Amino acid sequence: MESDKEFANRLRSMNDSDEMANQLEFASHSVRNRLDEIKRQEVERLNELEKALEDKLALKV
């Protein structure tokens, strides 16, 4: 997000997470793409963690 100087300056001036979320629509395309990729990776990580936990619990039965 630091690569989009205007957006980074807006974020620094905010202190409410809801306000920050509303400003995401004004981020540059590349910043939004990167945030989408980070979110996708985190969802994938959590899904893998959930599956591993389910597999572990299934072995205990």
pLDDT score for 52: 96
* pTM for the whole structure: 0.65
Q: Each residue of 5-61: pLDDT tens digit?
A: 888 888 788 877 778 778 777 788 888 899 999 999 999 999 999 999 999 999 886
Closest-CA residue to 7 (of 22, 46, 55, 61): 22
Rounded CA separation 23/42 (Å): 22
Domains identified in the chain, total number? 1
The pLDDT assigned to 61 comes to: 66
Structural domain that includes position 29: 5-60
pLDDT at 40: 98
